[in-house]
Amino acid sequence: MAKVKNRRDNHITKRPKSSAGYGDSYGTSRLRSEKSFGEKESKARGVKRRESRSLERVIGGDFEQENTGVIVGRNPVMEALKSGREVDKLLVSSVEGSMIKILALAKEAGVPVMNVDKVALDRVSAGKSHQGVAAYISPYEYGQMEDIFALAEERVEKPFIIILDNLEDPHNLGAIMRTAECAGAHGIIIPKRRACGLTETVAKASAGAIEYVPVVKVGNIGYTIDELKERGLWIAACDMGGADYYKADLKGAIAIVIGSEGFGISKLVKEKCDFVVSMPMVGKITSLNASNAAAVLMYEVRKQRDSI
């Protein structure tokens, strides 16, 4: 897999602190007027701060990927799409002129498009002229579904796949990749939307496993599960309310589904799974971190396969 070609530093816009002061020499009416004005100004600034925090959550969640591999400007983005380069997502602030063609290319390639305001693009582009569009390009190459099955065939093993349903934390993704490589999983599947992609943080957390474990991006996890079933895999969901994981038969061709940090496995995806496995919780904490749960299950699969 290709290594990171370049790196850009994060750019954080600092907001000035708001303050209000009143001189002692003003008359009472002037003071009341200034106080009223100050309250209005403070409220307005409060709204702006809330909007800014909201924007930071957007940039920091779905959009921000360490400012690594960001292409800005209409022509560069258009050429990247034309060349078939892997584009994680587009950020757009206008839909006119050549943007119509860019959006058509993105739709054809199945690239998620996020509508944002100009302020968001200004921050993502770090002061460069973005012309209303920015594209996130992964610094690492994604694999294809056939890469996973080819690896299983090469090792003369039944397919062993990890499916991540909207996992958002890059440290969790990296940790899962590391365990997957060590436990002998053949690949990882992630969705195109509302999920962490391959970033430098993921690469670092994976401790190099990113170079060896195929990661496949798909448009729909539910459809992908149907495809895997047709190819002979059993699908196990890691969630509450299932059988103890060590009592389940995990020796055959299998895919294990791990849910997101905050919401677990989505209802539709869980319904698509063949069975649910759970871990006994005897302490006061009722759940494990996603990467911890994945590690336990992956090594249970390894244990059962090695016992054959």
Q: How many CB atoms lie within 10 A of CB 81?
A: 22
Between CA 118 and CA 130 the distance in angstroms is 9
Please report the domains of the chain, with CATH numbers, ordered by start residue: 70-137 (3.30.1330.30), 145-306 (3.40.1280.10)
Indicate the angle between helix axes 290-306 and 170-183, nearest 10 degrees: 10
pLDDT tens digits for range 1-17: 444 444 334 433 333 33
As to burial, measured by CB atoms within 10 angstroms (0-12 exposed, 13-18 middle, 19+ buried), residue 83 is exposed
- Mean pLDDT for the chain? 79
Could you give the count of Cα atoms lying within 13 Å of 27 in the half-sphere of its Cβ?
2
Average pLDDT for 208-226: 93
Residues facing residue 164 across a β-bridge: 258
pLDDT tens digits for range 25-39: 334 444 444 444 445
Element (H, E) at 292: helix 290-306
Average pLDDT for 280-303: 92
Between CA 113 and CA 197 the distance in angstroms is 15
Task: Give SS3 for 127.
Answer: coil
Element (H, E) at 157: none
Please count the helices (runs of H) and the strands (runs of E) in the chain: 10, 10
pLDDT tens digits for range 37-87: 445 444 444 444 443 333 333 333 333 344 457 888 888 888 888 877 778
Q: Are β-strands 160-164 and 254-258 bridged in parallel, bridged antiparallel, or unpaired? A: parallel
Report in angstroms the alpha-carbon separations of 266 from 88, 99, 248, 293: 22, 34, 22, 17
